[in-house]
Each structure stands twice: as C-alpha cells, then as structure tokens.
Structure 1
Amino acid sequence: MGLNQIQGHEQYISLLRKNPEEVEALFRELLIGVTNFFRDPESFDALKYTVLPELFDKIPEDGTFRAWVPGCSTGEEVYSLAMIIREVLDKNPKRISVQLFGTDIDGFAIDKARAGLYPASIAADVSEERLKRFFIKEGDSFHIRREIRDFAVFSAQDLIKDPPFSRLHLLCCRNLLIYLDTEAQKKLLPLFHYTLRPDGVLMLGSSETIGSFANLFDVMDKKWKIFRRVEVPQELRQQIEFPSGPSTTDMALATNKLAPGEEPKVNFSLLTQKAILDQFAPTALLVDPRGHILYVQGRTGKYLETPSGPPTHNILDMARQGLRIELSSALRAARTSHQTVIRKRIGVKTNGDTQMITLHVSPQYVPKELAGRFLVVFEDVENPPVPGPQSGDQAIQKHEAARIIALEQELQNTRESHQTTIEELESSNEELKSTNEELQSSNEELQSTNEELESSKEELQSLNEELQTVNAELQSKVEELSAAHDDMRNLLNSTEIATVFVDNSLRVKRFTPQATAIINLIQTDIGRPLQHVATNLTYAGMISDLETVLKNLAPQRAEVQTNSGDWFKMRIIPYRTTDNRIDGAVLTFTTINEEKQAQEVLTTSKTELEQAWQLVRDIFDMNEEPMAVLDAKGRIVLANAAFSDLMKLPDEKIAGLDVLDIKNGLLAATDLKTRLMDAAEKKRDFTITASEITQADRANKYFINGRIIRTDDGEEEAYRILLQFVKEK
C-alpha cells in the first residue's frame, strides 16, 4: 500500500481487482523464501557420507536416482543436493542417471532457479573448490555449470493441491512443514510415505518432526531429522488424501471413450463391503502389545475420549470410565493366554448415561504383518427395558432382584479382577525371586570383580613403579639425546659448511644457518618440498641431482655458483640410518672461492708463460745461425729453425733427440762428446774447430761454440748448453 501510495484498505482491494499484477506481487510478498547454499552444512555431510552411498548401492547399473525438493524457492537447495550427488557419483563405479525435481508455489522464484545465476555473495556458503568446479564466474555473478543444471527439473507446484512426484529415492522437505498447520501436516506426511520407494529416505528441517506417523518412518539421524520409509500393510496405512484426482477434462475424455450405450463399470464388491462396515460392523481397533492404536474402524466416541494433558494414542489412556479396568485386564489376559478374551455386560459411562457393551480382545497371528497385534472390538448390548407401572411389592421385588443381579455381576467382575491381580502378583513375585537370584549372582560376580580389581590395583601400583623407573631412564635418554643434538648442531655450525637434510620425497628435514645464504630457507619451510623453495644458485640441476642420488644411491658432485658470484662445491650423498635404510639425502655446500681464485691465477700464469715461451721461441728462430739448447745428457731441449734446416729434421720431432745421433752420427765424429763431458764437469764454454756439414748439396764448414746456461735456482746440475754453429767464411 505504501509503494502504491494508497491509504485505505478499500482502495487497495479495488486496485487488486483491477490489476492482476498487483495480486501476483502481493502473493509473492506473502511467501517466505529464506534459503541459501548448503544450509546446515552438517546435514549435507550426513547425506553425502551416510545416506546417498547407501541409496546408490541399491540402484542397479544404468538405473535412475530420483529426488524431490518441494518448496525449493530459488533453487539453492536443489543445486546443493546436486553438487554432493555429483561428488558421491564420482567415487561410485556404477553408471547412474539423476533426476532432481525442484518445485515451489512461486513461479518467479522457479524462473530464477532455472536461470541458475547467483550473486558473488554465495562464496560465503560455497567452498572455493566447489565454486571452481560447479560454477562459471560471469562478472559479479556465478552461473551454475551445465553438468549440475542438467540434473535438475524445476516447476511451479502447489504442494496442497497439485499431484506429487512418485517412485522417489529421496524427498528433501526442509523447513516447509513449520509454516503449515497441523491438518496440512497430517495430510502431507502420509502422502510423502506414498511417494517414496521402499527404503526411501525423507529429510525434514531440524525443527520439524513426523508427529504421530512414527509407524510410517524409522529414524536414521535424529539430529538432522532423516527418516527411512517403513513398509506398512495396506490395511494398516492411514488414508491418503491425494491433492487432486482426474480433472474434468480427463473425466470427459474418459466418458467419450465409452462405446454407445455402454455403462461405466461399477465395483459392487468394494461398495458392498464399505456399506456393511459402515452400517453393521461393530467398532474395532488394532493395537500393539503396549496398547498404542494402529488403526480405527468405526466411531469410537462412546468408548474412548481424549484425556486432558499431552496428546496420546494409547487405548488405555483414552478408555472411558467403567471400561479402563476391564480393557486392561482383557489385554493382559489375551497377551498371557494367547486366546480371545470376552468380557460381557460392561457398563461404560457416556455423557451421563451408561452403555452396556461386550468387549472382545483377540490376538492376531495371520497375516504375518499383523502378528503380535491385538484386535479390540466393542459390541453394544441393549439396556434392559424400563418396567411399566406395577404394585409396590412387585416393584420392590423386581428392583431388589435387578439390584442383586447387578451386584452379583459387579462381584463377579471384582473377583475376576482380583484373580487377575493375584495371578499378576504371583507372576511378579516369581519375577522378583528370579531378579533376586540374579542380583545375588551379580553380587557374587561383583565381589569377585572387586577382588580382581584389588589384585589389578596392586599390579597397577607395581606397573606404576616400573613406569616411574622407565620414565626416569627415558628422561636421562632425552637429556643425552638433547646434549647430542646440541653437539651435532654446534659441530655443523662450526664447520661453516652449508648442509640441508631432505627425506625421500625431497621435503626439508633440517638445515644449517649457512644454507640460508644459498637456498632461501626459513624455519617454517621444514616439511615443505625443496623444489618449492627458491635458491640463489645459477645451477638448475640441483633437484635432478637429488632425484638421481635417491634413485642410484651414488654420490653426486658439482661446482655451483650463486647469483652474487660465490663458488661452492655441492656434494649430495644418500642419508643412511643405523639399520642401513635410505631415508633421504644430505646436501653440503663447501666454499671454494680461494681455490677458484688460485685456479684463475694459475690459468693466467700459464697463459703468460706460454706467451713468453712463444716469444722466446720466435726470437730464437729469428737468429739465422743454427742454434740448439741441450740438457745435461746431451738431449736437444730447443732448436731454432736454422738448426732444423741444417740437420734436415722437422721441428716437432727434434726435441728430445740425442745431438750425437742426428745426421747419421755426423757430430759424433767430432770431439763434441768430449767437449760436452768436459763442460759438464768444469762448467765452462768451449769451441770446436770447423766441421763439414752438407746443406743444399753444398758442403759447408761450421765452428761449434758451446755456452753454459745456468738456471735460476742455482742447483749444481741445473744448467743447459747452448750450441751455436758458425759458418766458416
């Protein structure tokens, strides 16, 4: 009214009559559409881990699972159920198709459910994993994926008026019954029982109950109100009020199908039985051994009434005055004797009058569904006629005779009741005696148990002393282990060697502080895979080397460099336990900066030496006179190109040759050998007169000058002899 700026009710009623859309808007405002995904998450866990696996186990291969969610509003509960069904089916090897029916009286809500588009706020109720798997992010909204949307069928339905779905495995009607009155609930619960398959499951809201229909369902989960359908014989089922029968159109079509002149078939047998039961059969009730009413036939108002206090369905609590004692006695007698018990002329107080009845209590044995139950029948007996006008003495005599008969009847009833009481008392005494004997036996057992407990107490005390001793030893071991741990930690720290211990899955077990400069480890990284931790190494093969060591059980070594330019020698060895079991690997990083620097210096010196040697050789070769350097034994160490040409020897083969052997011993004919020996002893230069050497088909004479070359270290034999061949002019 405020939105339409209407002040009075009559004006609003007039608007409703003129505007059907306002009627629809008012109808939606009256509805309660409170819902969200996974409302009461623990109830969905009960479905996922207990109910659904059991239901799926009973469905054959390629079967269909059917479920109904009445009052589904905008579909959150239907899709929540679909998601957990998908998760359960992922672990089930069977191929099972799914049909989920979501219904609601609000067509606008059903349209939203069909669209499957929900705001980003559902992230508060749906886990991140389910959001990624079952939804598609579209801007600020989430859209349900096709695999879940295909499970559900949504339709507008009035639960009270429209026909229900049938052959259901699961009916999830949560937080709907609380908005309905008692009559509607009594109408729907038998209907729910009818729609479920045998062993089908009904789930209600946490504040709802099945009320007086406990015979139709067994409790599976008391907290989350999950019930299993109980198969009840047809004759014991409550009458079901179906929301609707055939429509007028269907009836017209059915009538049109009849042949001309053909009358509709009538079930006279069923109609006759109903007429007999309604008009001639006595009032009867079926009760269980505790007196709870299971079924009623006929009117019971003359014999039973609802007592004050909590509602009850017990026939003894509801029996009228005058009937309760006889009914209780007859039930006990029938239960004990297993035979039909009949009690005649029982006076029942009914609205200020007394109705005489005959009571029948009959134990039932067939069919087997009725076994253990009792049929209670109330048969009315006509009261004796009221006498007409009589003389005073006759009237007194008849009144006294009637009074005597009534008293005798009452006395007989009292005797029977007394006898029943005596029998029950004797039976109770027997039970008490038996109970007493059992108690005595239990007392003896308790005494024996007490003695055993005393013995156990002493054993426990002894065990406690042993435990204290063991505890002291363990404490000592712990202190030793702690000291050893401290020693090992200090030892590792003192070596200044970066060390990392990993298990067989390459998860970090322990590391030294020095390792943090190479691998970015912190204390909370213990237990994490090493490959998830960043390193400062330029070397990318550390993880593969670890895997190779764990596979081949052979150590691996490598020289690695950090991003800052420091060099380390990485060594990986298997981690062996005391029982020679491989339980991971150990990485050590030893700094080799000094070695690397020395290596660089050596490399530089070698290069410089090679360059100097080449320079000396080039200068040596520039001399046109043949020259050679000999060691102390007369072997050629170095010769210039002119010497090689003179002796006709290649440069690469001349080093190491004995100077006296070359040129077919040409120089051996001179006194060079004597002069070399003399030079070795006296360490002085020498000159040999001209010797003829053929070169380029020409014979030339050369003077041979020998010069002593001393080395820098000054040792006695550390010298060389330079031979210089000077051509005679």
Structure 2
Amino acid sequence: MISPKQDPEFENLLIYLRESRGFNFTSYKRSTLMRRVSKRIQLLTIKNFEGYIDYLKIHPEEFNYLFNTILINVTAFFRDPLAWEYLAEQILPNLIRNKKTSDQIRIWSAGCASGEEAYTLVILMAQILGVEEFRQRVKIYATDVDQDALKQARLAMYSAKDVQAMPDEIREKYFEIVGNHYLFREDLRRSVIFGRHDLLQNAPISRLDLLVSRNTLMYFNSEAQGQILSRFYFGLNDGGYLFLGKAEMLLIHSDLFTPINLKNRIFTKVSSVNVRDRPLVVANSAYEETSKNLSRHLRLRDMGFDTAPIAQIVIDNSGTLALVNEQARAMFALSPKDLTRPFQELELSYRPIELRSLIKRVYTEGRPLRLTNVERHLLNTERQYLDVQITPLKDIDASILGVSITFNDVTGYIQLQESLQRSRQELETIGEELQSTNEELETTNEELQSTNEELETINEELQSTNEELVTMNEELQSSNEELQTINHELSQRTTELDYTNVFLISILRSLQTGIVVIDSNFNISIWNYMAVELWGLRTDEVLGQSIFSLDIGLSVEQLRSPIRESLSGKKPFQEMILDAINRRGRKIKCYVAITPLVGIEMQGALLMMADVEKVNSMISIQDIEERRQRQ
C-alpha cells in the first residue's frame, strides 16, 4: 500500500493547489491532509485525486469548499477552561507586573479561526486592567489563512450556542443581543487587528509579550513545526510567553522554550545569552629553592612529571626528545633509549597527527596550541581520541627553551558523548512519535467534533424541515378547501361574467355608431363593430394602441384637446362634427361625442363616432352647433 507521502496523484494535487491558488499544503501532515481531502472527494463521488484536479479546473468555486474542509475551524470561547484559568490567574498578572504602566502589551493569536480565542484574550485582559486601560495599552493581533473564518471573526457575531458556556455576567458585560445572535462590544473590537497570515510563508509579528497558538502546530509535520517555532521564538520578547493547545508539548524543541506549566501547555522563551569560552589560566606557584632542599625538590618534580595521569613529553629547542613520562612511554611504546634522539625520527612525530609543523608554529607564534578529538587507530581496530596541547617552555628572558606536549585520552568522554547523542536522538524520535500521535489523536478528535456538530445541525434542520412540512401540509389542506370554495365562487362569477360580456357585446354590436373606449393614457380598450365598419381597422389591430397613432380618415389630432378637457373635467361632455373619409374613401361629415368614464376605478373616456347622414334622423347639425355655442 502506498503511504500518503508517496502517493504521486496526491502530491500532484498539492502542487496544483500551490501553483493555481498559492496555498502550500506540502508542510501539513500527509495522513490528516489526505483524510480531509478524501472526505471532500467522497462527498462529490469522484474516484481519485486526478479526477478531482480536473473537477477543480472546471469548477473554480470548489476551492472554497476544499479549503474549508482542510482548515478545520474548531474553536470556542474559553476552550479548555482550566488552561485559560491558569493563564488568567498566573501568567497575565505576571506579564503586566513586568511591564511599565506606559508600555504597550502586544499579543498574537495565531490560527484564530472565527475569532473566539482572540475575544477570549480581550475579555481576560479587560477584566484585569479595566476597559479604559485595556483600550490604551493592549494590542491583539489575530491571524489565520482562512479568509472566510476571518470575515466571521471581524463580524464578531455569535450564536446563543457559542456563548452558552460563558458566565452570565461576562456575557452581559461583553456582548450585545442583536436578534437571535450575540455581538461582541464594538469599542473593544477595535483593539483586535485581524489579518491573513501564513505561518510558514509570512514574517512573524515581533515584540510580543504573549503568543497564543492553540492546536495549530499539530496539523504540520515535524520540520514545519520547527520552522514555525523558530519564527515564534523570534517574535517573542525575552521572557515572553507561549500558550499552546493541549496536544502540543514541545518535547523536541526544549532549546527554544522552557515549560512553565506543562499540563496547561504554557512555555516561556529561553533568553539568548552569548556565552564565551574562557580558557583556564593555571598559575604556577613560585617557590624558593634553597640549596638545602634543592635535590629533594628536583626529585619531587621528576617524580611528579613521571607519574602524571596525562601522557607528556618535552622536546628541547634543538628538536631532541628530552623528557617522557610514564603515561607517554606506555601509550606510544617509548623507552629510555629514545631520549636524546631527534624527535623527527620518532613515529610519534607524525602519527597520530603531524606534530613537527605544529611545533614550528608554536615556536613562531610563541603561544600554546590545542587540538581536540585527535583520532588514533590502534592495532585491534579500535579508535582512541586524544586532546593534544603543545605549550612553549619559556625562560626568564622569554626565550623558548623547548616545548611540552601533552596527550589527554578523551576516548571515554567521546564514547559517552556519542552514546548520549544516540540516546538523545532516540528520545527525540520517541518524543516526535509521541507528540505526532498525540496531535493525530487531537486532530481526529477535532474532526469528529466538527462532524458531530455538522450532524447535529443536519438533524436540527431535518427536524425543523419535518415540522415545517407538517405545518405546510395542514396549510395546504386548509388552502385546498379555500381554493375549492374560491373555485366554486369563480365558476359562478365566470358564468355571470360570460353573460355580462355577451350582453355588452350584443349592445355594442346593436349600436349603429362607432364606439371607442380609451384609458387615461389614450390607449384603446374597446373598438366595436361599427368603428371597424367606419374606419376599416380591425379590433385586434388597434387594441392597446394610442388613439393618436391611428392612421384613419379622421384627423385624430383634432380630438386631442377635447379629450384632455373631458378627462380633466373642464368640459366633461364634448361633441363636434368633423370632416372625414370613411373606409370606402367617401367624404363624410363625422359626428364625434366624447364622454368621460365615471363610476369606475379605471379613468378614461368613451368616444362615439357616426356618419351624420346616417344619424340625421336622430340629431340635426343645427342643434349640435347651437349646443356647442351655448357651451
């Protein structure tokens, strides 16, 4: 089975995400990352990662859903209450005490998700300092890579479920109720600066007194965690505090941070101090030689030299081996016969290290020369490590009489150091595995928590939907009964309307004059049979058209002013005789009467048109003119 690190299709997907959208997930733990991506692929019923790349190319909106799936935003106010309680009671008061009253306090919430962690810090600091001093002195930076989560954090609007575990007095003091939600205080929100920040790509925020990053590191591999912690180290002031999540222990990064309370995952930065190596100066005590005990002192000196625990030889300024102690004789197989021999003829002069050139260097520089961890191969294939020091022997006049060479066997120390290094590496490996397992368990726990919340939400939605469906079913039944009643009434009214329409049409067809009804915009609503017979335009050609747009034998522009006067009420009833040409092309005298529509909501006018010759029996031209003059 191919491991997550070796799956070429998955690696191609990560490369595509980095190149197309600038998101570099290669430093995330492969097991967690593959599990989250596979969840999204299964939801879309896509077979493999290669097919998912094709899907992303066709559906760019899928990137948002994928990133929301990968970046698990599981957080809450005062998450892990005991850890926050310790921070509030022990760490924050100590932090404030170590600052001057005029100093600004800088806090960074890295991986803040939807902002609950940042606003928790606001509440704690405001409780300790007071609201006014908090606004003047405290600056909180809250960052995340998820833009959607940052939008929600800036909005600072939370549901009743999000704040239900909070004490009532805290909730009432720091939140305002807006509808069914709780809005964090606006005056305190201004002290929090939200922004997008990639912990691996962007420079860290500096001069920090407290850095809070809870359950963010556990999504990254060991190498990426080391890089991020180095950035955290750089961003914190000396003595600054680091507050991590319960799955993050820093077992393999103890050189950067020292635990203050390991149970609650609170650490402090190790101060960077330059420590210089200082050589030990050995002062030779002066003593007076008297002629009386001179021989005794010389013998003591020779015995002390010979029985010294460190191998030592002395070479005079002519290059002759002058002195060899017992340890040197045993270590390098030297005998009393080798004394007075030129040093360059001895194997010791070039093995295990080239000493001749080094002796010349000591004569030239006039100061000691020290070599550490010189490797010497023994006959039984074992290795021996020596610290070699060449010291010039100076006379009273500062002239060099010779050199002393000491060989300190440090093999046991080197072996112990190597063993310690191996043990340390094994311990670091075990620590990494333990921390990785712990982080993996915490990640899985957060995924399960996220899934559980999703299922609870879906269950609530389904229950709500079911209740709505039952209510809708009852409403539909009631509406159906109402519709049946309305349908019956409409059926009766339709019958009545049909009768009325037939009656109206019969009246209009029975009239021997053209009847035209227009609305307030001068558009034609009724155009009866006699109007068709008089002007030659069918009803379907004129309905909805402006009467002034008609091309008929009657000059309709002459009707504009009378119609307006009739509609305005100045002269409600208008009648006139106009010259016209009927549809057969014969000149006629056209009688036109205009009456406004009254008693209905629709505003408009009724126009009655007739050939004067045909209606001469009903009305005389002279009567019309007389009435017109009287008006």
Per the shorter chain, which TM-score range?
0.3 to 0.5
TM-score by length of 2: 0.38
Q: TM-score, normalised by structure 1?
A: 0.33
Greater relative CO, 1 or 2 (CA 8 Å, sep 6+): 2
